[in-house]
Amino acid sequence: MMLEALEISKEYKRGDRPFFAVDGVSLSIDKGEFICIVGRSGSGKTTLLNMLTGLLTPDSGKIAFDGVAYDRLGDDELSLLRNTRLGYIMQGRGVLRNFTVLQNTILPRALFKRAEDPEAKAISLLDRVGIRHLADQLPARLSGGELRRVSIARALLSTPDLLIADEPTGDLDEETAAEILSLFRSVAEEGTGVLMVTHDLDATSLADRTLVMQSGRLRERA
C-alpha cells in the first residue's frame, strides 16, 4: 500500500461542544488506483485530505506513506514528500495572485530545486488543461475555472505518485470537467494514485472505488 491511514480522527469545537470532523477513518490507496470520495458539505472531507497530505496532524490514528509513518517525519521530510511525491489540489482557489499562470505552475520547483528545467513540462501541462494561452497572465484576469486548472497543472508538474484533489471540477462546465476527469483517468493509468473529493456523479463512474463520507465517518458506497 502506498498511502495508508489507520483510525485517524480530528476533533474540533463548535462553540463549547466538541465534535469529530473526522471520526476514526481508515483508508488505503495503491499505485494507479482511482478513488472518489463523496459526501455532504461539512462531512469532513477537506479535513481528511489535509491530514492525508500531512498539513494537519490527526488527534489520533496513524498515517503512513510507503510504510513511513508521518509522525516520524520532520517538517523538512514531510515538506519534501509533499513537494515531490504528492500533488494536492486544494479546495477553492489555490493560486497566488502575485505570480503569472506559468510561475504559479512551476512554483513547486522554486521551493526545492531540481536539475531539469520545469518550464517545458509546465507548458505542456497547461496545454493539456487547455490554458496554455494564459501562461503569462496574472490570476486576477482569470475565471474561476481557469484558476482551478492552474492548480491541476501545478499538482501534476512533479509527476506525483499520488494526486489528491478536493472538488477539482467544482466550477468547470460539463465539457471541461469531462476533459479533466479523463486526464485524471489517464494519469491513474500511468501509475499515479488518484484520490478525489467530488460532487460529480459522472466522476464516480470513472473511479475504481467510491467512498462516502458522513459526519466524519467513511464507508464504502453501497
Partner 1 sequence: MYGRPHFIFSDIAVCNLKRSPFRTAGLISIVALLAFMLFGGSLISCSLFNGADGLAKRLGADILIVPKGYDQKIEGILLRGEPSAFFMDAAWLGKIAHFEGVRAVSPQLLIASLNASCCSMPVQLIGFDQETDFIVEPWIKTALPGRLSDGEIIIGGAISGGAGSKLEFFDREYTVVAKMENTGSGFDASVFMTMESARTAAEDFIARGGNLTLPDNAISALSIMLNEDSSPIGTTKAMNEHFGYGNSGIVVVPAKEIVSNVSGNLRALVTIIVALAAILWLLSILILAIAFSVILNERKREFGILRSLGATRRKLASLVFLESGIVSLFGGIAGVFLSALLILPFRTYIRDTINMPYMQPSVIALIGLTAGSLILSFVAGPIASLISSAKIRKSDIIDVVRDGEL
Residues of the shown chain interacting with ligand ATP in the complex, contacts defined by CB under 6 A: 12, 21, 39, 41-47, 91
Q: Which of 83, 84, 91, 100 contacts Mg ion by CB under 5 A?
A: 91
Interface residue with partner 1 among 24, 32, 61, 92 (CB under 8 A) is 92
* 96, interface contact from ligand ATP, partner 1, Mg ion, none, CB < 5-8 Å by kind: partner 1
* Distance, CA of 154 to CA of 94 (rounded, Å): 10
SS3 of the chain: the string is: CCEEEEEEEEEEEECCEEEEEEEEEEEEECCCCEEEEEECCCCCHHHHHHHHCCCCCCCEEEEEECCEEHHHCCHHHHHHHHHHCEEEECCCCCCCCCCCHHHHHHHHHHHCCCCCCCHHHHHHHHHHCCCHHHCCCCHHHCCHHHHHHHHHHHHHCCCCCEEEEECCCCCCCHHHHHHHHHHHHHHHHCCCEEEEECCCHHHHHHCCEEEEEECCEEEECC
Written as one letter, the residue type at 41 is S
Beta carbon of residue 212, minimum distance to ligand ATP (angstroms, whole number)? 11
Q: How far is the CB of 204 from ligand ATP (least distance, A)?
A: 15
Identify which of residues 48 and 131 has a Cβ nearer to ligand ATP in the complex: 48
Q: Which of ligand ATP, partner 1, Mg ion, none interacts with 44 (beta carbon under 5 to 8 A by kind)?
A: ligand ATP
Contact 176, 128 (CB under 8 A): no
Per-residue binding letters, 114-133, with partner 1 (x by CB under 8 A): ---x-x---x----------
Nearer Cβ to ligand ATP, position 22 or 81?
22
* Per-residue binder mask for partner 1 (CB under 8 A), 130-159, x = binder: -----xx-x---------------x-----
Residues that bind partner 1 (CB under 8 A): 46, 50, 53, 55-57, 75-76, 79-84, 88, 90-92, 94-100, 102-103, 106-113, 117, 119, 123, 135-136, 138, 154
Residues of the shown chain interacting with Mg ion in the complex, contacts defined by CB under 5 A: 46, 91
